[in-house]
Amino acid sequence: MNDLRTRKTLIFNGSPRKNGDTAALVRALTERLEGEVRIVDCYRADISPCVDCRHCRMEKRCVLNDGMQEIYPWLEECDGVVIASPIYYAELTGKLLDVASRFQLYYSARFFRKEDPGLKPKRGGVVLAGGGDGDPKRPYATAKILLRQLNAREIFPLVCSHATNTLPAAEDAEALALVRSLADFLNR
């Protein structure tokens, strides 16, 4: 069991809507999460996408000096990480993927520098909101690739409110109950 004073959860929110469906699910999650929680608002954070300059293949440092520099230590130390996003064209949003491209630092550690990326083992979760089209399997699979990149060893089953065209996530009792179970999983 983790120490409550030091337990940390990092949430990436890939929605442009401050009070949208993803935000409603993230709110329900944070209301129940214990310890320190930090949310990265991918649309508003000053975080550029990776430009594949390949510097991190040689040194554990990303040369892009932006908001990601203070997120890296959080990524390394946190106990839980959550990818939360609306579904856009059956995928995570582009802004979320822009931010996530900066996880390349850890891929380079493993595959090019042959070093331990220094990421604490974590629990992971995926929270999606969709109007009701298509299948959320693809964005869930993408999110799991990102979570594994971050050393999430255990990943909670998908939490998805997938009828927001007619039922806002804030009123989706099933999705809200799953979000609370995700919080309990991350609190363990």
* Residues found near ligand FMN in the complex (CB under 6 A): 15, 17, 20-23, 86-90, 129-134, 162, 164
Which lies closer to ligand FMN via its Cβ, residue 87 or residue 146? 87
Nearest distance from residue 99's CB to ligand FMN, in Å? 16
Within 8 A by CB and 6+ apart from 111, the residues are none
Nearest distance from residue 20's CB to ligand FMN, in Å? 2
Give the whole-angstrom CA distance, residue 186 versus residue 188: 6
Which lies closer to ligand FMN via its Cβ, residue 84 or residue 109? 84
Give the whole-angstrom CA distance, residue 129 versus residue 162: 6
Nearest distance from residue 32's CB to ligand FMN, in Å? 19
Nearest distance from residue 139's CB to ligand FMN, in Å? 9
Nearest distance from residue 26's CB to ligand FMN, in Å? 9
Which lies closer to ligand FMN via its Cβ, residue 40 or residue 105? 40
Pick from 152, 54, 47: nearest CA to 111: 54
What are the residues facing 1 on neighbouring strands? none
Give the whole-angstrom CA distance, residue 86 versus residue 88: 6
Give the whole-angstrom CA distance, residue 41 versus residue 47: 10
Sign of the four-CA dihedral 136, 144, 15, 13:
positive
Which lies closer to ligand FMN via its Cβ, residue 33 or residue 169? 169
Q: Position of tokens 């989706």? A: 172
Which lies closer to ligand FMN via its Cβ, residue 80 or residue 139? 139
